[in-house]
């Protein structure tokens, strides 16, 4: 199947890219599942013009808009991708082949999981992978930061400005000394143990540690870093940065002609507002490229 533009990813960035590309009157394949978006199952309160909203509702509305403007959805994962003469070739998990003159990479990032009981079940119910995204929900509440790298230290320091009590849990912290000191000076209590279970039914109520201790908490922020869709980017010809993000210019174009990227995959901050803004630019740029490339 041949399209002018293929958008890979059905989060806020990908949906916005599909909306703008479709409105530019080019054929658009929208590939991915909204359930895989980091916005799925979350609450959002810092998006312009929206007091508080369900991430699921925003994704559902965005998908409907994209379809209304003509994007053809493929709720499937990409299993193989390559750059070819005159465009790109994508293989989907059901065997479908999609070719496109331009591709928008809006795959987001895959948060590194802790892998303990309760983590999956309580995601979006007190378990988060982005302290800077969700810190405002924990004003006056208890929070636990999990991780041993500098990212966790920065998150621990940040959370002390919101939470009534912040714990930083990890056995063998490897963060920079300066970052550790800032977190400690800000009031984060360091606990040298490993998490073994996240507790709670409808919401997080605590976290059990390897030494048998249970810390009562309202939120667990797992800050182990993130792995972007670097492999897919490289398959399409783009070389990721050292942090696995994909570098883009002001038009959201990568170093590969016809390949654009937007949203979390291009780096921090991982925020809906940034993702949507970049999606607008990437979708418009990809449509323009496809028109200029011709059939």
3-state secondary structure 133-155: HHHHHHCCCEEEEECCCHHHHHH
Instruction: List the alpha helices (DSSP H) in the chain.
Output: 12-23, 55-68, 131-134, 150-159, 177-186, 230-235, 272-293
State how far the Cα of 62 lies from the Cα of 106, in Å rounded to an integer: 14
Mean pLDDT, consecutive 10-residue stretches, the chain (295 aa), reads: 96 97 97 87 84 89 97 90 89 90 91 90 91 89 94 92 97 86 96 97 96 96 74 84 87 96 91 95 98 81
What residues contact 120, with CB distance under 8 A and at least 6 apart?
A: none
Q: What separation in angstroms does the CA of 160 have from each of 123, 221, 254? A: 22, 13, 37
User: Which CATH code, of 2.40.30.10, 2.40.30.40, 3.90.230.10, 3.50.50.60, is assigned to 113-222?
Assistant: 3.50.50.60
Q: What is the CA radius of gyration of the chain?
A: 20
pLDDT value for 86: 81
State how far the Cα of 160 lies from the Cα of 241, in Å rounded to an integer: 31
Q: For CATH 3.50.50.60, list the domain ranges present in the chain.
A: 2-110+226-293, 113-222
User: Which CATH code, of 3.40.50.1240, 3.20.20.80, 3.60.15.10, 3.50.50.60, is assigned to 2-110+226-293?
Assistant: 3.50.50.60
Q: What separation in angstroms does the CA of 44 have from each of 26, 57, 78, 127? A: 31, 10, 28, 15
CB 5 within 8 A of CB 103: yes
CB 8 within 8 A of CB 90: yes
State how far the Cα of 265 lies from the Cα of 137, in Å rounded to an integer: 24
pLDDT value for 244: 77
State how far the Cα of 134 lies from the Cα of 269, in Å rounded to an integer: 12
pLDDT value for 228: 53
pTM given for the model:
0.72
pLDDT value for 274: 95
Strands of 152-284 (E only): list them: 165-169, 189-191, 195-200, 204-209, 214-216, 219-222, 226-228, 259-261
pLDDT value for 79: 79
pLDDT value for 295: 64
């Amino acid at each position: 199947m041949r399209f002018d533009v293929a958008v890979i990813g059905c989060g806020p960035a990908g949906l916005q890219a599909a909306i703008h590309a479709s409105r530019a009157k080019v054929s658009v394949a929208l590939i991915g599942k909204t359930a895989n978006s980091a916005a799925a199952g979350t609450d959002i309160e810092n998006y312009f013009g929206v007091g508080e909203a369900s991430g699921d509702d925003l994704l559902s509305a965005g998908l409907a808009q994209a379809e209304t403007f003509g994007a053809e959805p493929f709720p499937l994962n990409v299993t193989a991708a390559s750059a070819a003469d005159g465009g790109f070739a994508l293989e989907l998990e059901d065997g479908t082949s999609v070719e496109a003159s331009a591709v928008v990479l809006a795959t987001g990032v895959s948060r590194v999981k802790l892998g303990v009981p309760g983590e999956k079940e309580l995601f979006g119910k007190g378990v988060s992978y982005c302290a800077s995204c969700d810190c405002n929900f924990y004003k006056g509440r208890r929070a636990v930061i999990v991780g041993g790298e500098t990212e966790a230290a920065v998150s621990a320091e940040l959370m002390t400005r919101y939470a009534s009590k912040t714990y930083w849990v990890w056995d063998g912290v490897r963060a920079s000394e300066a970052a550790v000191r800032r977190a400690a000076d800000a009031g984060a209590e360091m606990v040298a143990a490993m998490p073994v279970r996240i507790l709670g039914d409808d919401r997080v109520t605590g976290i059990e540690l390897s030494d048998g201790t249970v810390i009562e908490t309202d939120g667990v922020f797992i800050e182990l870093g993130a792995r972007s869709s670097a492999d897919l980017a490289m398959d399409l010809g783009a070389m990721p940065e050292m942090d696995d993000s994909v570098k883009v210019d002001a038009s959201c174009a990568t170093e590969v002609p016809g390949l654009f990227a937007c949203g979390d995959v291009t780096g921090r901050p991982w925020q809906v507002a940034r993702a949507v803004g970049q999606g607008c630019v990437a979708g418009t740029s990809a449509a323009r490229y496809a028109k200029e490339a011709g059939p």
